[in-house]
């Protein structure tokens, strides 16, 4: 029996994180990586689409983020797209349990703080599509 997903928590390289309720996701998928286990946690590839409604939802950010690294008027979309530094994902289930995993990572040539495996694009609908995989 599969569990109902309540939210997805995204953690960034500088330990900022945000918990996003599933209604803001158009789609979400993760798969076991061929690269195995890092720091005792299974590494996985990720593919998700965040709905455009999350684009300017400051209330969501204010109420759900413990530590926020947003300069000026940056939105969640800006944060994800500009920094390419998602390091792990936690799937939070309706029963309160969670499953955390590290995403596949390869340093960009000019920065160890950016993941060159993270590709972020806007869809035709204005949603944010994020893929992290080898």
Report the chain's terminal Cα–Cα distance, integer Å: 30
Average pLDDT score over the chain: 75
State the CB neighbour count (10 A cutoff) for residue 8.
22
What's the pTM? 0.76
Range of the domain at 36: 5-132
- Helices (H), ranges, 1-132: 58-64, 76-83
- Fill in the DSSP letter of residue 20: E
- What CA–CA distances, in Å, run from 48 to 26, 28, 99? 8, 4, 16
Q: State the pairing for strand pair 111-115/128-132.
A: unpaired
Give per-residue pLDDT as tens, 12-42: 888 778 888 888 888 888 776 655 555 555 5
State the CB neighbour count (10 A cutoff) for residue 32.
12
Task: State how many domains the chain has.
Answer: 1
């Amino acid at each position: 029996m599969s569990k109902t997903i309540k939210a997805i928590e995204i953690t960034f390289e500088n330990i900022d994180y945000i918990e996003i309720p599933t209604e803001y996701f158009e789609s979400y998928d993760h798969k076991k990586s061929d690269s195995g286990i890092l720091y005792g946690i299974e590494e996985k590839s990720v593919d998700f689409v965040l709905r455009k409604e999350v684009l300017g939802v400051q209330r969501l950010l204010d109420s759900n983020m413990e530590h926020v690294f947003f300069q000026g008027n940056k939105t969640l979309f800006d944060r994800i797209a500009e920094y390419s530094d998602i390091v792990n994902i936690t799937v939070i289930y309706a029963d309160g349990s969670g499953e955390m995993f590290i995403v596949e990572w390869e340093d960009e040539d000019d920065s160890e703080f950016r993941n060159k495996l993270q590709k972020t694009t806007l869809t035709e609908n204005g949603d944010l599509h994020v893929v992290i995989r080898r």
